[in-house]
Amino acid sequence: MNGPENVAPGDFRAVLGRFATGVTVVTTRSPEGDPVGLTVNSFTSVSLDPPLILFCLDLEAGSLPAFEAASCFAVNILGTDQEAVSNRFADPLAARFSANEFTGWSTGAPILADALAALDCTVHARHDGGDHVILVGRVQRLAVLDDAEPLVYWRGSYRKLC
């Protein structure tokens, strides 16, 4: 039996907001082949052998059906100058992709040209994550693309490393 859950949503956000993260754009393709992607900071590494990573996707996300149908996705780690990219991929109304901005590696999931680094993954597992689904990816290819500083997210705002 679980213990009492005295967790107010505001406290949950305030506490989790103290955990500084990087910012990524996670991408895939729709069944029609169109690029799909959103800003994600729930990315984390899981396992070195085999090479696994994960991110958590909101069950309310418009891109959920594409990620549910896809057998692959890519994680693009954003640099300090990519705040506008992060905002664009978090904006429900924005046109997120422009044709010359991305390419495809092994799986065909969009790799953003200006990302700091990227991981091209096949879907290894999907797990229940409450109001999110946890997508575990098996890394097929990865590379550092730029030596710039990372974009950091902390307490609901973008930050730079000192």
**If 0-12 CB within 10 Å is exposed, 13-18 middle and 19+ buried, where does residue 123 land?**
middle
Is the bond preceding 50 in cis, omega lying within 30 degrees of 0? yes
- How many residues in the shown chain lie near ligand FMN by CB under 6 A? 17
Alpha-carbon span 129 to 3, nearest angstrom:
18
- Give 34 or 106: the residue with its C-beta nearer to ligand FMN: 34
Contact 161, 33 (CB under 8 A): no
- Give 3 or 92: the residue with its C-beta nearer to ligand FMN: 92
| From candidates 57, 72, 109, 117, binder to ligand FMN by CB under 6 A | 57
Between the CA of residue 138 and those of 10, 29, 41, 66, 154, what are the distances in Å?
34, 17, 18, 18, 27
- Give 65 or 106: the residue with its C-beta nearer to ligand FMN: 65
Interface with ligand FMN, residue 42, by CB under 6 A: yes
| From candidates 27, 28, 29, 39, binder to ligand FMN by CB under 6 A | 39
Interface with ligand FMN, residue 40, by CB under 6 A: yes
| From candidates 61, 123, 136, 148, binder to ligand FMN by CB under 6 A | 61
Interface with ligand FMN, residue 148, by CB under 6 A: no
Which helix (H) or strand (E) element contains residue 83?
A: helix 83-90
Alpha-carbon span 40 to 58, nearest angstrom:
10
Q: Which of residues 98-137 bind ligand FMN (CB under 6 A)?
A: none
List contacts with ligand FMN (CB under 6 A): 23, 38-42, 55-58, 61-63, 86, 90, 92, 153
